[in-house]
Structure 1
Amino acid sequence: MSPRSILFFLTLFVLGITASAQYTEKINSNRPGTSQGAFSVGNNVLQLEGGMGFGKEKHKIFDTKTNVFNFDYTVRYGLLIEQLEIRLNGRFRADGVKQTVGANEEKINRSNFEINTLGAKYLIYDPYKKPKKDTTNYEALKSWKEHYKFRWKTLIPAVSAYVGANFVTSDNPFTFPDDPAFSPIFAVIAQNNWSTDYGGDWAFVTNIIVDKVTTDNPAIGWILTATHTVNDKWAGFIEYQGQKSDFYSDDILRLGGAYLFDQDLQFDANIAFNFKDTPSIFTFSFGASYRFDWHTKDEIIEKPGLEGGVKEGEEQENEEQEGEEGIDGEFDEIEGVENDSLKLEKTPFINTFEDDSFREELEQDLDERRTEERLERERIEQEKIDKKEGKKFKKEEARRLKREAKEAREAEKAAIKAEKEKQKMIEDIDAELDKMEKEQGVDGELDDIDKQLQELERMENELNQEEKEEQKAEEKKAEEKKEIQEEDVDAEYEKYQLQQERAKKEEAKRRKKEEKRRLKEEKKRKKEEEKRKSQEKKEDNENLDIDKELEIIDN
């Protein structure tokens, strides 16, 4: 066995022992996997299973590509007793092989039966067949640990043995050339069924196969299948198949699912692939299973410990059945038949020589005990539900109180923050008012400038008065000089010089006056600009404070 095979074996084994599920009582099909279950289809039940597959194979060394079509079939029949099943299975295969030789591509078509096997399977050991008598510990039912703890005895599987014969036609391209037409095959089959309220339904099947032991090419194979029931209609599976022989060895993994159409019809599909390239395999298959149910006795598989209990309506059904058939007749039918499990409403272990009243008392007592067990379980489950609901309510109440306390703290923090912001806003307004009061000095400065300008105007008026007086004096002098103008040329020249000096002085006064007026207007303009900016800044600060107040009010 290769390391890869060992790895898959361990993985699926761990998956099997950790799962928990229940074997279905409806159609018992081996599809879509290739392994056999330990249980038979049931006495007097005929079941047909078949499907078609399409795939491709590539061989790296031979440089071949193969298109594969196969049709597999299985016929199962429960013979005489519940534990015995006869089985005919086979697979017809048709290949189209493409091989490149040099520059040419050759195509070879081949077809034949790859498998044809007829055999019988017998259930050797059934762990669900004979549950112990009333050993129920009523106090243990109150313990959650006792109710849900893992029970190691559930690892004990049902075990079956299979013996069959292979039939090979001559010139078969899918078998070894020297294989005889007849060869035996043996298999040991183990099956575990687990079921819990929290784990769903699982079945784990193991097949150990020894094939063609009398030929020159014996083969050893093993198949591990884990099946999980998702709900009443759907189930999924994973399967690992290994084979070891001198003729052919491989490791194949299959994945797929099945759909239960009704209690007698199932549809399925799966994919399969391997982990090597001599050849590499990939196939897709789909099929169906159908049974013809002529089974006259209901063999109901029950959980260990007779945990089904007696439910409402069952006692009435029992009375109706007793009225139609009679208790003696029913036990006569059960006598001599080995059952897979104990019926819920019948006690097949009672001897036929006992009288009816004794049987009725035993059945009534057993029904009462089962009903008490069921009621006790229901009470424990209800207590668990009530306890869980109480914890949930307390948790929700604690969360609500915590949430309300948190909201109250946040509201208090928000109120404190709003009060601080309001106080800060008032302080900012007071500071702005103080600043505005300080800025009132600008108006005083403007008043000083106006006083200076008035002083300048007064000085200008005085200068103008002096100029007028000088002008009068000069005019007087000019009149006097005019009188002697004709007589004194020098005097005329002096007059001319005086006029020039007067013109220069007037020009200088005019320029000085214009400069003073310009400086006055410039200072006045600057002061007005500063006053305007101060007023705008004041208005902006007031608008900003108002916006902040509105925002706080909105919050």
Structure 2
Amino acid sequence: MSPKSMLVLVSLFLLGLTVSAQYTEKINTNRPGTSQGAFSVGNNVLQLEGGFGFGKEKHKLEDTRTNTFNFDYTIRYGLLIEQLEINLNGSFRNEGIKQTVGANEEKIRRADFEFNTIGVKYLIYDPYKKPKEKDSINYDELKSWKERYRFKWKSLIPAVSAYAGMNYVNADNPFTFTNDQTISPKFVVMTQNNWWTSNAGSWVLVTNLIVDKITTENPAYGWIITSTHTLNDKWAVFGEYQGQKSNFYSDNILRLGGAYLFNNDLQIDANIATNFKDTPSIFRVSVGASYRFDWHYKDEIIEKPGFESGIKDKEPELNEKESDSLSINQEFEEIENDSLKLEKTPFINEFEDGSHREAMEKDLDERRTEQRLERERLEKEKQDKKDDKKFRKEERRRLKREAKEAKQAEKARIKAEKEKQKMIEDIDAELDKMEQDEGVDDELKKIDEELKKLEEMEKDLEPEKTKEKEEKKEAEEEDIDAEYEKLQKEQEKAKKEEEKRRKKEEKKRLKEEKKRKKEEEKRKKAEEKKKKEEEEKEGDDNNDG
């Protein structure tokens, strides 16, 4: 593409961005529908829009009946320029659900914000800006009814705006998908056609194409078509079709309603909405209002070059000398106000001198080359900074990783030393127990010796028993006193025997108890030894790993 062609395209693009003021004497609101118009409220205008909705929903498959209450609100403000608007949209929903489960009816109530979106709208193209001279009033056409009311294909070209916003939803919101992100983007392309005829009044057609939550797992795509017709200066009716498609919820909703203009800054509206399915079926009635705080003080109209003061009448014809003088003066004025000095792209007139055009193109090429080189230099600096930042980040990560590994090695060493020290202490404790066990064995030997002595004493007592039997026979012949003395002696002997027997049993019991304790200690010792061997084996495996 030649420099001349590029220059012409850039000039036409810049001229195409010129638009007229958005401010209107009467309030410009998006209600009672849900679509957004292409035009903003106007610079330095604050507008509040809101409404209440009551409805019923029935879900055939889930067998639920729901009573709903909605509060929708919008805050719009015209910022800096006529084409720019910032706004906040939101909806609060409160519902009570009745669900039949078997023979019981459960009631569930939940409430939260369905969405809150803050965004910016900008008017890209406006076909209703001040007309060119060729589109001015033709008084000859006014004499013909046919020419006056014939259809003009140019009226199909709409105004176009773009909207970019950011959604915010609370965590655990019952009206959104479970894994929805708290913050997600929203984009809308808006078109608007305004038609007016003297016999049919005014009509407005608004179309919205919506892409919502595209960064989440469940993006939503939607479209809204709204048609509004004014019956007179106060009353208007509208119809709207809204479609939505996503994995979470899909539906097609039809709305019908009307609005009443109370004054230039206040509008009251009402509408009903229904859908075409039963999972769930929807019926909702809404009423609302729109009010603006009008601080607009100046219409900032951006005109095309040559139409700053409206469409000019034909200038009187000049002779050759006057026209040459006028062209010279205009040339000097253009040089003084050259758009290149203002860093703007000039519009090339085909009737200009070729050398002048070539000089302008050369100057423009030089400027573009300088800008390109400067842009490349800035990009290179930006990339170098990014690479340096990445290198520093990787170096910090490496140092942290090495410090972490050294710390883990130190912990492992300390742990091994503690285990080694614990093993030494356990061995010492086992040796002490073994020494104690040897003392127990000595006691057991002493007890065995005493038991043997008792057994020998019992053997010695057996002949005495036989002797006592013989004496008992002889004692029968003695008198009662002798028998009494013998009885006492027998009782004393029996008592001694019983005492000896008791001592013997007690010593046996003590011996058995000590044996049992010794066996229990040996068993514990074996278990502890086995446990230590297993721990040592695990420690060796970990060190090998």
The alignment's TM-score, normalised by the length of structure 1, stands at: 0.50
Provide the rounded CA distance (Å) in 1 between the counterparts of 2:103 and 2:278: 23
**Aligned 8 A contact 2:24 2:42 in 1:** no
Decide which of 329, 335, 338 is 2:302's aligned counterpart.
338
Provide the rounded CA distance (Å) in 2 between the counterparts of 1:280 and 1:103: 24
Determine if the alignment matches structure 1 residue 125 to structure 2 residue 89: no
Provide the rounded CA distance (Å) in 1 between the counterparts of 2:58 and 2:260: 32
Could you say which residue in structure 2 is the equivalent of 1:62?
62
User: After superposition, where does 1:143-542 map in structure 2 within 5 Å?
Assistant: 143-298=144-299, 338=302, 347=310
Q: Deviations over 1:273-293 (max 9, x none)?
A: 000000000000001000000
Determine if the alignment matches structure 1 residue 86 to structure 2 residue 86: yes
Could you say which residue in structure 1 is the equivalent of 2:375?
none
Provide the rounded CA distance (Å) in 2 between the counterparts of 1:35 and 1:349: 39
Q: How far does residue 254 in structure 1 lie from its aligned partner after superposition?
A: 0.3
The alpha-carbon distance between structure 1 residues 348 and 83, as it changes in their structure 2 partners (threshold 3 A), is farther
Q: How far does residue 338 in structure 1 lie from its aligned partner after superposition?
A: 2.5
**Aligned 8 A contact 1:81 1:338 in 2:** no
**Aligned 8 A contact 1:208 1:222 in 2:** yes
Provide the rounded CA distance (Å) in 1 between the counterparts of 2:42 and 2:182: 31
Could you say which residue in structure 1 is the equivalent of 2:50?
50
Provide the rounded CA distance (Å) in 1 between the counterparts of 2:214 and 2:303: 34
The alpha-carbon distance between structure 1 residues 144 and 243, as it changes in their structure 2 partners (threshold 3 A), is same
**Aligned 8 A contact 2:132 2:311 in 1:** no
Provide the rounded CA distance (Å) in 2 between the counterparts of 1:224 and 1:25: 25
Q: How far does residue 206 in structure 1 lie from its aligned partner after superposition?
A: 0.2
Q: Deviations over 1:281-332 (max 9, x none)?
A: 000000100000001124xxxxxxxxxxxxxxxxxxxxxxxxxxxxxxxxxx
**Aligned 8 A contact 1:82 1:339 in 2:** no
**Higher gyration radius (CA):** 1
User: After superposition, where does 1:13-28 map in structure 2 within 5 Å?
Assistant: 25-28=25-28
Q: How far does residue 145 in structure 1 lie from its aligned partner after superposition?
A: 1.6
Q: How far does residue 339 in structure 1 lie from its aligned partner after superposition?
A: 6.3
Q: Secondary structure at the match of 2:66?
A: strand
The alpha-carbon distance between structure 1 residues 193 and 109, as it changes in their structure 2 partners (threshold 3 A), is same
Q: Aligned AA for 2:185?
A: P
Indicate the RMSD between aligned Cα atoms, in angstroms: 2.5
Q: Aligned AA for 2:51?
A: G
**Aligned 8 A contact 1:187 1:210 in 2:** yes
Could you say which residue in structure 2 is the equivalent of 1:398?
none
Could you say which residue in structure 1 is the equivalent of 2:431?
none
Provide the rounded CA distance (Å) in 2 between the counterparts of 1:52 and 1:289: 12
Provide the rounded CA distance (Å) in 1 between the counterparts of 2:60 and 2:133: 62
Provide the rounded CA distance (Å) in 1 between the counterparts of 2:285 and 2:106: 25
Q: Deviations over 1:480-507 (max 9, x none)?
A: xxxxxxxxxxxxxxxxxxxxxxxxxxxx
Q: How far does residue 138 in structure 1 lie from its aligned partner after superposition?
A: 3.7
The alpha-carbon distance between structure 1 residues 182 and 47, as it changes in their structure 2 partners (threshold 3 A), is same
Q: How far does residue 348 in structure 1 lie from its aligned partner after superposition?
A: 10
Q: Across the two proteins, how many residue pairs are aligned to each other?
A: 291
Q: Deviations over 1:124-152 (max 9, x none)?
A: 00001131125554433322221111111
Q: Deviations over 1:403-431 (max 9, x none)?
A: xxxxxxxxxxxxxxxxxxxxxxxxxxxxx
Q: Secondary structure at the match of 2:37?
A: coil
Q: How far does residue 235 in structure 1 lie from its aligned partner after superposition?
A: 0.5
The alpha-carbon distance between structure 1 residues 26 and 170, as it changes in their structure 2 partners (threshold 3 A), is same
**Aligned 8 A contact 2:74 2:89 in 1:** yes
- Unaligned runs of at least 5 residues, structure 2: 1-22, 314-328, 330-545
Q: Deviations over 1:435-475 (max 9, x none)?
A: xxxxxxxxxxxxxxxxxxxxxxxxxxxxxxxxxxxxxxxxx
Taking every aligned residue pair, what percent have the same amino acid on both sides?
72
Q: Aligned AA for 1:212?
A: K
Provide the rounded CA distance (Å) in 1 between the counterparts of 2:89 and 2:119: 9
Provide the rounded CA distance (Å) in 1 between the counterparts of 2:149 and 2:178: 57
Determine if the alignment matches structure 1 residue 102 to structure 2 residue 102: yes
Provide the rounded CA distance (Å) in 2 between the counterparts of 1:153 and 1:297: 30
Q: Secondary structure at the match of 1:62?
A: coil
Q: Secondary structure at the match of 2:148?
A: helix
**Aligned 8 A contact 1:82 1:338 in 2:** no
Q: Secondary structure at the match of 2:43?
A: coil
Q: Secondary structure at the match of 1:100?
A: strand
Provide the rounded CA distance (Å) in 1 between the counterparts of 2:109 and 2:151: 55
Could you say which residue in structure 1 is the equivalent of 2:416?
none
Could you say which residue in structure 2 is the equivalent of 1:39?
39
**Aligned 8 A contact 1:159 1:190 in 2:** yes
Q: How far does residue 347 in structure 1 lie from its aligned partner after superposition?
A: 4.0
Provide the rounded CA distance (Å) in 1 between the counterparts of 2:185 and 2:164: 8
The alpha-carbon distance between structure 1 residues 253 and 24, as it changes in their structure 2 partners (threshold 3 A), is farther
The alpha-carbon distance between structure 1 residues 106 and 201, as it changes in their structure 2 partners (threshold 3 A), is same
**Aligned 8 A contact 2:121 2:163 in 1:** yes
Provide the rounded CA distance (Å) in 1 between the counterparts of 2:228 and 2:56: 26
Provide the rounded CA distance (Å) in 2 between the counterparts of 1:242 and 1:98: 27
Q: Deviations over 1:329-356 (max 9, x none)?
A: xxxxx6xx5269x99x964999xxx9xx
Provide the rounded CA distance (Å) in 1 between the counterparts of 2:104 and 2:129: 64
- Unaligned runs of at least 5 residues, structure 1: 1-22, 299-333, 355-555
Q: Secondary structure at the match of 1:154?
A: helix
Q: How far does residue 90 in structure 1 lie from its aligned partner after superposition?
A: 0.2
The alpha-carbon distance between structure 1 residues 349 and 248, as it changes in their structure 2 partners (threshold 3 A), is farther
Provide the rounded CA distance (Å) in 1 between the counterparts of 2:281 and 2:120: 33
Q: How far does residue 248 in structure 1 lie from its aligned partner after superposition?
A: 0.5
Q: Aligned AA for 1:236?
A: V
Provide the rounded CA distance (Å) in 1 between the counterparts of 2:247 and 2:279: 14
Q: Aligned AA for 2:183?
A: F
Q: Aligned AA for 1:99?
A: Q
Q: Secondary structure at the match of 2:252?
A: strand
Q: Aligned AA for 1:59?
A: H
Provide the rounded CA distance (Å) in 1 between the counterparts of 2:28 and 2:205: 14
Q: Deviations over 1:46-100 (max 9, x none)?
A: 0000010000000000000000001010000000011000010100000100001
